[in-house]
């Protein structure tokens, strides 16, 4: 009825969309727009105007109105306007939620995700960070095995000691021994001075042997002796050098099948396989893809707040990611580089992702947006419910676990119609999900 009445409602309601006439009694629609933008910066406002007031409506857009619609208007035109406004609100709030999520303390050194299997990995890392037990990390290429190794090292009591990463697959066979164990002056042609090996460089800390399944059998035997005796013999030397290192090894191969097939030493396998951490492929943790996408956007977009359309996110969720997280990172870096700096749409994705989506199902862009929005909303809703359960209904703790502010948390509770049983602000409340 009036701008004053609308502002009074805003004290208790937080609408995503607001539609106002330009001409209102007392306060004008423009003044209502200004107040709404101040009180609810994430809400969108549209202006209804008569033909003679279009210039004023354009001025309102300069003040932050989403758009204007000229009276009289068709219902279909109004419906499309409201759909566009709702999609923008969804993109902005989804970006806000996901950006806050990737800064939460629960993420260990770049290992991002809230899916059950990645949370199992994070819990295992927390248990291992202060032990010196050998650890074997398994997982496909691109799943983040070195990130996991670094998290084990740098989150624990050994954080200030050396961490030396070795890509066993890239070592030149004829130089493996000298690289790992060092060499004495004159040990071979070109050895003009003595050099410590990588095990000596890691003394007192951690050595990470990536793709250990690529080591030849002869070198596997020498590595086993180092692990057993805790000493190395540099090439060309008769003296042994004591080394005290924690060994973390990683592989994308089935080492049990390898030792049964004779390509990997059984005794070395059991020496390394004291504790195993398995990193799941990205296709088995699709619910983490939106959070990972925004993590990489923050890395490559340099604070420009690029948004991902619903159709593009649907394509990213559908793709199987044979290269796992590394491939997703490269995909986002490419889209940021080649895009317009504002949004990432399906056309900005690599051809393989676009073609797989097109081959799997033919849907209209509107269907894609609807399906993706529904899937993402349900994903977010289930995450909030799960975290509330883990926090025993403690709103403050749940907000911290989610990595979002209390105001954002309350908006999410209202959006997904999640009611809480009676309880204090600091605990005791239990979530109850309801659907309208």
CATH of the domain at 12: 3.40.50.2300
Residue 89 maps to a domain: no
**Do 322 and 345 have their domain in common?**
yes
Maximum average pLDDT range among 45-54, 74-83, 141-150: 141-150
**Do 320 and 427 have their domain in common?**
yes
CATH of the domain at 180: 3.40.50.300
For residue 278, whether the previous peptide bond is cis, meaning omega lies within 30 degrees of 0, is no
Domain boundary among 256, 282, 308: 282
For the ranges 108-117, 236-245, 299-308, the lowest mean pLDDT is seen at 108-117
- pLDDT tens-place string over residues 344-355: 999 999 998 987
Question: What confidence score (pLDDT) does residue 247 get?
Answer: 97
Domain boundary among 282, 306, 324: 282
pTM here? 0.64
Instruction: Measure CA 402 to chain center.
Output: 13
Q: What is the 3-state secondary structure (H, E, C) of 407-433?
A: HHHHHHHHHCCEEECCCECCECCCEEE
Domain boundary among 240, 258, 282: 282
**Do 13 and 129 have their domain in common?**
no
Question: What confidence score (pLDDT) does residue 41 get?
Answer: 78
**Do 152 and 209 have their domain in common?**
yes
d(CA 85, CA 89): 6
- Residue 16 belongs to domain spanning: 3-73
Residue 114 maps to a domain: no
Helices 310-318/289-300 angle, 10° precision: 120
Give the pLDDT band (50/70/90) at residue 275.
very high
Q: What is the mean pLDDT of the chain?
A: 82
**Do 253 and 343 have their domain in common?**
no
DSSP annotation of 261: T
Residue 79 maps to a domain: no
Question: What confidence score (pLDDT) does residue 422 get?
Answer: 47
Whether residue 147 is predicted with pLDDT greater than 90 in this model: the reply is yes
What average pLDDT does the segment 283-310 reach?
86
**Do 301 and 255 have their domain in common?**
no
Number of domains present in the structure of the chain: 3
Whether the CB-CB separation of 330 and 323 falls below 8 Å is answered with yes
- pLDDT tens-place string over residues 213-259: 999 999 999 999 999 999 999 999 888 889 999 999 999 999 999 99
């Amino acid at each position: 009825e009036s701008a004053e009445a609308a502002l009074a409602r805003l004290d208790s309601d937080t609408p995503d969309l607001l539609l106002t006439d330009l001409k209102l009694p007392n306060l004008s629609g423009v003044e209502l727009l200004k107040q709404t933008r101040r009180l609810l910066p994430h809400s969108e406002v549209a202006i209804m105007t008569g033909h003679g007031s279009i210039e004023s409506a354009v001025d309102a857009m300069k003040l932050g109105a989403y758009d204007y619609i000229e009276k009289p208007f068709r219902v279909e035109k109004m419906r499309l306007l409201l759909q566009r406004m709702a999609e923008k609100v969804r993109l902005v709030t989804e970006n806000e939620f996901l950006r806050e999520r990737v800064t939460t303390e629960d993420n260990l050194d770049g290992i991002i995700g809230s899916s059950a299997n990645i949370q199992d990995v994070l819990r295992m890392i927390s248990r291992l960070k202060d032990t010196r037990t050998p650890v074997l990390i398994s997982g496909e290429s691109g799943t983040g095995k070195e990130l996991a190794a670094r998290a084990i090292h740098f989150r624990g009591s050994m954080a200030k000691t050396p961490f030396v990463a070795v890509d066993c697959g890239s070592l030149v066979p004829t130089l493996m021994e000298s690289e790992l164990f060092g060499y004495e002056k004159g040990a071979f042609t070109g050895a003009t001075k003595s050099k410590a090996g990588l095990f000596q460089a890691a003394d007192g800390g951690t050595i990470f042997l990536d793709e250990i399944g690529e080591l030849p059998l002869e070198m596997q035997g020498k590595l086993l002796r180092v692990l057993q005796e805790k000493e190395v013999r540099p090439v060309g030397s008769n003296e042994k050098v004591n080394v005290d290192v924690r060994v973390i090894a990683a592989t994308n191969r089935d080492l049990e099948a390898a030792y049964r097939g004779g390509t990997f030493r059984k005794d070395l396998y059991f020496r390394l396989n004291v504790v195993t951490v398995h990193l799941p492929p990205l296709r088995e943790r699709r619910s983490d893809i939106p959070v990972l996408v925004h993590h990489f956007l923050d890395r490559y977009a340099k604070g420009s707040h690029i948004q991902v359309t619903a159709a593009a996110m649907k394509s990213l969720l559908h793709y199987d990611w044979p290269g796992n997280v590394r491939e997703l990172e490269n995909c986002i870096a490419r889209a940021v580089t080649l895009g317009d700096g504002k949004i990432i749409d399906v056309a900005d994705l690599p051809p393989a992702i676009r073609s797989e989506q097109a081959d799997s199902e033919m849907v209209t862009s509107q269907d894609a947006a609807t399906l993706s929005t529904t899937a993402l909303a349900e994903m977010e809703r289930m995450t909030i419910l799960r975290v509330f359960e883990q926090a025993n209904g403690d709103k403050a703790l749940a907000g911290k676990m989610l990595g979002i502010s209390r105001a954002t948390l309350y908006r999410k509770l209202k959006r997904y119609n999640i009611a809480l049983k009676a309880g204090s602000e600091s605990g005791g409340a239990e979530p109850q999900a309801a659907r309208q």
